[in-house]
Structure 1
């Protein structure tokens, strides 16, 4: 029986996360402490709306409990890093409402020099086992942040991820699409050529789509809009809008494009271009957990999301410490659909 990935706005059973531990992403105790505080803020924000299970590395339960409080479930498993969207399974459902977990091949975002994945490559199966659902193994190197679906047959992808040399060098576009469609129940792929400029630096994913564009509902796509011509993403975001505007989805609808202005800050403390983006949000039951940057555009973005999701409560959570490690709120959460 065919399985399908529900859209993120469909009801959830729970959210899965992974607790930051000492690893190459967080290079010192100060960075690790900042990351843990940020992960905990996201977990508590999500917990207002649905259960949260945090996978925690051995010996780190006390540090997690101290920041997370009693309402977040903790389970102990070996971890390398803390990006549950990418190391965890992609949950799918069939017509009978039965749940399964797609286990993509995880290789450290294209076998990057700094990455470790001995334990993270097994987390999808651990989570599936904890959730009590069967595993659907895939031979495709892929991550959850590299796909976004509308739940009605359409998936967003990027050339530099699924077709990148570090992930699937021998695969053709047609072969990638066939495997994606087989596992997600989709029928139409819309490809973008790359991700944001900052996503190709140290700790970058080499082009995840979930920081660039995301479905807000069937036929509606929110797109990152860098409005300052000084930033390299100015041209990139114009390209994404131009490529998506006028495209049709699997149902034949012309996509409505909603541009989300990027934060006003352009560079980090080291002088590198930031890829701060409000697109990397997370939808949970009755809520939108939105990346905040202590920026004037935070409230502008929140207002747009309130209009897009009038039935949901929008919560801004400071995501700067998460972005310093290479991702955002969407990158550290993974939804388990309700059955």
Structure 2
């Protein structure tokens, strides 16, 4: 098995707004010993959603092979059709693609005429924030194609266009990056790889300055950094294919079956594990880590293939996750997710097309929280 299976590289890689001040809002308590700063914050993904946003992949500059693009569209449609059984889904696409897309999408999936290039709604889609008082806004993360590695003429404008259509405030503190590169417990703690943020292809500030901007953007108090890996994949090692918060104090992390310090990706995954195992959250709790074993017998044998069980999506009443054809680890992943989310249906899908281009289900989805 190639130990680079965790690597989030992508096939077909090609080479703002002012800060909005928040004032007059009171701070409020969230969990033991935690007082969140006043203003907007990113809530826990596991809380109730109003809907899910997704993006329809269409660009032949990004996906050069027509047949593979069709395969991708079928996979995105299957994910959307699975989620819409549990909550509303909006698919973003230019109007000229709607007729063909409708052949694959459930009639329950709503289509909004917002142009897209690729499918990564987690990174280029709207990042919704709430203020705990019934207000909703969108956080602008200034998506720049993972540091200029991919065309983003339309994808770079999606957050602003969704905010305009919904009549929502667009908040921007100048930070450049992708929400797939940071995990939040919805309370006040963040996890991120430095390689995705403290990187001149996105931000030119110091680690401390970038950390402060991330905490402001997400409404966080504590940011746990791990080094990650820069320059080896398009995302510079997004955290959401490796480790995810289940709830405050609880993290699921995927690790290879055996430790190999000589393998770059294996070693980096264990390094992140060690850092998280020794870390405390904003409330002073030590993090409890649950390990899912990386699959070994997968259907796609490629150095670029990402087989991440933790790149799952939590929606109303369900967890939508991937299976990879390894009976033993697929079943382990189902058990771990069922234990972590006991009141939700666990839906496992074959999304190998996304793994071939370096992502998964979480990368392709973005929740709008209910307020």
Report the TM-score, using the length of structure 2 for normalisation.
Answer: 0.85
Match of 2:123, SS state, is: helix
The structural deviation recorded for 1:147 is 1.3
Hey, what does 1:221 align to over in structure 2?
251
Question: Where in structure 2 are the equivalents of 1:1-339 lying within 5 Å?
Answer: 1=25, 2-112=39-149, 115-168=150-203, 170-194=204-228, 200-201=232-233, 204-229=234-259, 232-265=264-297, 268-269=300-301, 271-272=302-303, 274-296=305-327, 297-339=329-371
Moved more, 49-58 or 237-246: 237-246
Residues of 2 paired with 1:13 and 1:132: CA distance?
16
Change (3 A) 1:25 1:260: farther
**Count of residues in Structure 1 that have an aligned counterpart in Structure 2:** 331
Conserved? CA contact 2:249–2:286, under 8 Å: yes
Stretches of structure 1 that go unaligned for 5 or more consecutive residues are: none
Alignment RMSD:
1.8
Match of 2:45, SS state, is: coil
Residues of 2 paired with 1:311 and 1:191: CA distance?
31
Change (3 A) 1:87 1:256: same
The structural deviation recorded for 1:131 is 3.1
**Which protein, 1 or 2, shows the higher relative CO under an 8 Å CA cutoff with sep ≥ 6?**
2
Residues of 2 paired with 1:23 and 1:213: CA distance?
32
The structural deviation recorded for 1:69 is 2.0
The structural deviation recorded for 1:129 is 2.5
Match of 2:292, SS state, is: strand
Conserved? CA contact 1:267–1:273, under 8 Å: no
Residues of 1 paired with 2:217 and 2:50: CA distance?
20
Stretches of structure 2 that go unaligned for 5 or more consecutive residues are: 1-24, 26-38
Q: Give deviations 1:232-273, integer Å, cap 9, x for gaps.
A: 53323222221111310001111000111111147944x425
